[in-house]
Structure 1
Amino acid sequence: MTSWLTRSRQRLTGFIARRETPDNLWTKCKSCGAMLYTKEFEANLSVCPECGHHERIRAAERFGQVLDEGWTPIAVASPSDDPLNFKDQKRYPDRLKAARAATGEPDAMLLAKGHIRGHQAVVGVQDFAFMGGSMGIAVGNAFVTGARAAIAAHCPFVLFTAAGGARMQEGILSLMQMPATTVAIQELKDARLPYIVVLTDPTTGGVTASYAMLGDVHISEPNALIGFAGARVIESTIRQKLPEGFQRAEYLLEHGMVDIVVKRHDLADTLGRLIGLLMRA
């Protein structure tokens, strides 16, 4: 027979198991390690209240933070999933399928049309969660679609960048997006419409070498990693130790590569004022 003490312990253990703390109740800051209550962290726009670290956020969150209520998504034509029949450890279509299932997004760049502090704008957001925000044909298509939507609406095109570079599974076709997006930027200039880039962590590789650095104004979030090649690659090439904070937003601001570093809480207000000034001019 089971003793009353054993039965009591089993009931107590079951009760405690049913009341386990949810996995997503707390968030650990990736910079300072502080344990943050997730709801409060998200209410603070995913910025650590202890150290000010700006966590990477998803495209839908970015739209909600920057755009006024009532914004609408812009559809983008879907290209072929596997133009080169590429396969490494996995087939490229399988990688795309996994990324779409994990993020709920068709590819790494999404578009929306709405208003920023009352000023009409088309906004594009690269989502690093989708294959590292890598630039492929779909991203190039989205960029061109966004630029031309801005021209049609006679409003600015605001782009939030976050990428590890070109998408290797699309080879030369991914690199062809660099000139394609450059042509779209020239169309914006010909229409005398602002192209504003907000650099977020990380913005690297072919994205930095093309549309990320061709804006009329370059804004960055604090401490964002911005560069072309990685720091270790550069150090091994030039055989010198790089300066402290190299490729971070504040260092690039000091050296003229970024126009202004803006905290996430102030981004919508800053963009609204900037758009008002540029469209008036």
Structure 2
Amino acid sequence: MSSSSSPTWLGRVRNALAYVTKKETADNLWHKCKGCGSMVFTKELEENLHVCPHCEHHDRIGPAERFAMLFDNGDYHQLDTPDVSEDPLKFRDSKRYMDRLRAARTSTEEQDALINAKGFILGNPAVVGVQDFAFMGGSMGLAVGEAFVAGAEAAIAARSPYIIFTASGGARMQEGILSLMQMPRTTVAIQMLHDAGLPYIVVLTDPTSGGVMAAYAMLGDVQIAEPRATLAFTGRRVIENTIREKLPDDFQTSEYYREHGLVDMVVHRKELRDTLGQLIDLLGAQKQAA
């Protein structure tokens, strides 16, 4: 084999082991792909934007990873998370709600499930919100609703688009009707963006469902989805039991939604930054002309 050929599997193992530190173990050196079951070096996965090099499965990522790969030179300013009443219903099931919040904050190092940041995408100013599914399933409660409104207001103040990356199981049950009230609140915030002549772009990621899917996740000027993301208002089994029919295998996926007109485009993570930059240019010019 010539020196210009790709390295053998043994060479890839040797190269990966060269990066192992004392804190790294077999548990974090390898990653098992949820799409094809292949074992992938964690470093290789990170370099590939957390997309499996074998089957192109897009792994779930949090705000920090998303911001770093999206903004120019990975440079951005994270916006403060608004303060809200943390346990308005004093809710308790098998655990106290406050205990669940503390555990989620410890594991994600975030205050709640929606984080905003501002920076530049291909030279264009933008405010970006990212939902973190690792934080209580990305569930929508008072904090998420308030963060969404704050993100829209920051975009209006900066005269820039607001881009939201959705990843959620729906409304947060521990906040009851207060969580459902975030649906109209976020809709009003989107109307504020429209009134200001600013684009609102939605990127649907795996999974997006429930009250989030029924609200701001489907109200974008442009609807983008990552490949093979699960997108649904309610579960597949519930629908099948209700209509008493077998649904297609690709039902509630990004590709199914695109074929049926609910999503404008399905974009690979490697192409997402360029696509968003082009859309900001296009929509910004259209809004100004209007």
TM-score range for the pair, normalised by the shorter chain length: over 0.9
CA distance in 2, matches of 1:142, 1:80: 13
Partner in structure 1 of residue 55 of structure 2: 51
Q: Structure 1 residues 121 and 235 mapped into 2: Cα distance closer, same or farther (>3 Å)?
A: same
Alignment map for 1:20-99 (pairs within 5 Å)? 21-69=25-73, 70-99=75-104
CA distance in 2, matches of 1:102, 1:158: 25
1:201 aligns with 2:206: yes
What is the letter of the counterpart of residue 124 of structure 2? H
Partner in structure 2 of residue 15 of structure 1: none
Q: Structure 1 residues 119 and 168 mapped into 2: Cα distance closer, same or farther (>3 Å)?
A: same
1:212 aligns with 2:248: no
Partner in structure 2 of residue 109 of structure 1: 114
Partner in structure 2 of residue 270 of structure 1: 275
Quote the offset at 1:170 in angstroms: 0.1
Q: Which consecutive residues of structure 2, in runs of 5 or more, have no partner in the other structure?
A: 1-21
Partner in structure 2 of residue 260 of structure 1: 265
Partner in structure 1 of residue 134 of structure 2: 129
Between structure 1 and structure 2, the one with the greater Rg is 1
CA distance in 2, matches of 1:95, 1:244: 35
CA distance in 2, matches of 1:41, 1:166: 31
Q: RMSD of aligned C-alpha atoms?
A: 1.3
SS in 2 for 1:240: coil
What is the letter of the counterpart of residue 199 of structure 2? P
Quote the offset at 1:21 in angstroms: 4.6
Quote the offset at 1:68 in angstroms: 1.2
Partner in structure 1 of residue 184 of structure 2: 179
Q: Choose from 210, 228, 234 the match for 1:229.
A: 234
CA deviation string 1:143-166 (max 9, x = no partner): 000001000110100000000000
1:247 aligns with 2:260: no
Quote the offset at 1:23 in angstroms: 1.6
Q: Which consecutive residues of structure 1, in runs of 5 or more, have no partner in the other structure?
A: 1-17
Quote the offset at 1:19 in angstroms: 11
TM-score, normalising length from structure 2?
Answer: 0.89
The answer to whether the Cα contact below 8 Å between 2:81 and 2:111 also exists between their aligned partners in 1 is: no
What is the letter of the counterpart of residue 54 of structure 1? H
Q: How many residues align?
A: 264
Partner in structure 1 of residue 169 of structure 2: 164
Q: Structure 1 residues 257 and 19 mapped into 2: Cα distance closer, same or farther (>3 Å)?
A: closer
Structure 1 runs, 4 residues or longer, greater than 6 Å off: none
Partner in structure 2 of residue 120 of structure 1: 125
CA deviation string 1:73-121 (max 9, x = no partner): 1112221110001000000000000000011000000000001111100
